[in-house]
């Protein structure tokens, strides 16, 4: 079975491509390489295309059986400043993909959603039925696209799975894939850069939250566990043919300070830090209830914070060396 991974050269898509291939599926990467990396997916069939290009999509959708959609703008803070770009890519362009998929007669669609659809819920842990009140344009576009999927499912027979990721983190155990963004804004890569001296200090955005140590708590889930969830979601669509929505997280939250301590343990290096004011829009605590995914998707994460940090650390060491080589080329 051939699966089109739209945005498949990015952080999560490239890990999913490897996992699909290990499980006997054929990943076909469709990416415009605005943020993706060729070296992450060079062993697979690759199409350089835009998700806004209906004709190009229709052409390549002729030869696939399912679609996974990863191509999105994904910086929460940036989305507040540039909602127009976020609505254009995450809604308008994504609807072009969805229309092309339905028009091509493909009925299996897997969507990268986010726990950002929930906003800052008071009820914890967060279940799939926790009301969605997204606080940022990023979260709003994810919620709106989920709604489009429901409507298309009802009207056109599309079957979809929306996967609401909590905080994706870590790297492939090979050390050959990992987080590589510019600019980097995510906590774990920034903490590890500070440990290795590649940045002066990590900023802690607020230590006056109503949490045990005053810093924000997140549910960090390993990217290869997320990758396995995509394979399980595809298996579910193939065998059950029912649309559904799942939260993907571990059920355990770690504060910013706990992440820094664990990074010091893994790297055996000190992480210099700096307390700054709160970052606007950050919910104090986000923790996933993964019970529904465990029961219905038969998925639960196999890796914890230490595996996340040790794989991310290995990736950072290898990638720093590889990055230097490509700069010379």
Under 8 Å between Cβ of 27 and 20: yes
Tell me whether residue 15 or residue 218 sits nearer to ligand UFG (CB atom): 218
How many CB atoms neighbour CB 167 within 10 A? 21
**Shortest gap between Cβ of 249 and ligand UFG (angstroms)?**
9
Residue 6 or 287: which CB sits closer to ligand UFG? Answer: 287
Q: How far is the CB of 216 from ligand UFG (least distance, A)?
A: 3
Q: Which residue is nearest to ligand UFG (CB)?
A: 216
Estimate the share of the chain in helix, then strand, then coil, as percent rounded to the nearest 5: 45, 20, 40
Nearest to 31 by CA among 4, 59, 58, 2: 4
- Give the residue with the Cβ less far from ligand UFG, 27 or 206: 206
Provide the pairing of β-strand 254-255 with 217-218.
antiparallel
Q: Least distance (Å) from ligand UFG to the CB of residue 298?
A: 24
Q: What are phi and psi of 28, to 5 degrees?
A: -120, 120
> What residue ranges bind ligand UFG (CB under 6 A)?
74, 76, 114-116, 166-167, 185-187, 190, 202-205, 216, 218, 256, 279, 282, 286
Closest separation between CB of residue 327 and ligand UFG, Å? Answer: 25
Distances (CA, A) of 110 to 65, 162, 246: 12, 6, 11
Q: How many CB atoms lie within 10 A of CB 24?
A: 8
CA 101 remoteness from chain centre: 21
Does residue 277 contact residue 205 with C-beta atoms inside 8 Å?
yes
What is the gyration radius of the CA atoms in the chain, in angstroms? Answer: 19
| Residue 54 bears catalytic tag | no
**Minimum distance between the CB of residue 185 and ligand UFG, rounded to whole angstroms?**
5
Give the SS3 label for residue 119: coil
* Candidate list 118, 138, 209, 220, residue with the active-site label: 138
Nearer to ligand UFG, 57 or 202 (CB): 202
Q: Is 71 helix (H, G, I), strand (E, B) or coil?
A: coil
Based on CB atoms, which residue is closest to ligand UFG, 171 or 236? 171
Enzyme catalytic residues: 138
């Amino acid at each position: 079975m051939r699966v089109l991974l739209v945005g498949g050269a990015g952080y999560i898509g490239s890990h999913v491509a490897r996992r699909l291939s290990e499980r006997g599926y054929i990943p076909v990467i469709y990416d415009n390489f605005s943020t993706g990396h060729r070296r992450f997916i060079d062993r697979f069939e690759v199409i350089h295309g835009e998700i806004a290009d209906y004709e190009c999509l229709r052409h390549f959708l002729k030869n696939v059986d399912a679609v996974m959609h990863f191509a999105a703008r994904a910086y929460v803070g940036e989305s507040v400043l540039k909602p127009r770009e976020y609505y254009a890519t995450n809604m308008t362009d994504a609807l072009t993909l969805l229309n092309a998929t339905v028009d091509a007669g493909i009925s299996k669609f897997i969507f990268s959603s986010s726990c950002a659809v929930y906003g800052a819920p008071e009820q914890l842990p967060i279940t799939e039925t926790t009301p969605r009140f997204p606080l940022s344009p990023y979260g709003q576009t994810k919620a709106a696209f989920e709604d489009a999927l429901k409507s298309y499912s009802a009207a056109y027979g599309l079957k979809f799975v929306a996967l609401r990721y909590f905080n994706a983190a870590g790297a492939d155990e090979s050390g050959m894939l990992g987080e590589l963004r510019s600019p980097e804004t995510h906590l774990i890569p920034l903490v590890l850069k500070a440990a290795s001296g590649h940045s002066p200090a990590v900023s802690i955005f607020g230590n006056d939250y109503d949490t045990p140590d005053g810093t924000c708590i997140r549910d960090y889930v390993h990217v290869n566990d997320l990758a396995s969830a995509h394979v399980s979601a595809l298996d579910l669509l193939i065998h059950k043919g029912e649309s559904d929505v799942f939260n993907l997280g571990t059920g355990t939250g770690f504060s910013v300070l706990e992440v820094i301590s664990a990074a010091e343990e893994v790297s055996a290096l000190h992480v210099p830090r700096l307390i700054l004011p709160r970052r606007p829009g950050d919910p104090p605590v986000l923790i996933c209830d993964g019970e529904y995914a465990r029961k219905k998707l038969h998925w639960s994460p196999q890796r914890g914070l230490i595996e996340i940090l040790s794989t991310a650390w290995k990736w950072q060491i290898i990638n720093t060396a590889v990055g230097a080589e490509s700069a010379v080329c």
